[in-house]
Amino acid sequence: MQSGQTSGIEVVHVGAGDLASQVVARLETGGSQVERISDTATSKELNSRVVVVFDGAWFEQRVDDEELHGFLKRASSGQAGLVVIGANTSELSEAPDKAGIDKLIVTETSVVRNNNSFNPPQAGFRLVTTGDGPSYHRLLFSNTNDPDSLAEALVTWLNGQ
């Protein structure tokens, strides 16, 4: 990414997976401010200009963790973007359900509909609230392992394009 292309986007990077780290490095090169943390303890305000990038293996190990659920609630209430890169990215669809943020659809035959069940290399979730309208969620799925393409898709998604 070219310098300045991602300025104004703040990134909180959780975990240390190779592909996620490469994507975050591209965002930083493009002008994003990056805070790297090893767990979900951060004092950063989580708002619509923030994207939290989780390493998929880190996220998968903690999908049932109450601390992670609290962090996801705080991030979602601020309309921050949540992105998982690598490993089992379908966990990003399950974690908001477990945290009580966004429910997975269950059919009358008890089949769980997970929009992300095919585990692309990058998946994102963002709860958006409009002025007086209802909340809705925006999803991101990127089916490439190229860090440049993943970073570009993430920025486009975060900017609402």
pLDDT digits (tens, 9 = 90+) for 79-94: 999 999 998 887 887 7
* Tokens of residue 84, six digits: 């998982």
pLDDT of residue 98: 83
pLDDT of residue 117: 58
Rounded to whole angstroms, how far apart are CA atoms 147 and 77? 28
CATH code for the structural domain at 10-158: 3.40.50
Residue spans of the domains in the chain: they are 10-158
pLDDT of residue 112: 47
What residues of the chain score a pLDDT lower than 50? 111-114
pTM metric for this prediction: 0.88
Residue 142 class from Cβ within 10 Å (0-12 exposed, 13-18 middle, 19+ buried)?
A: buried
pLDDT of residue 71: 94
| CA-angle at 73, arms to 69 and 79, nearest 5° | 140
Rounded to whole angstroms, how far apart are CA atoms 37 and 136? 28
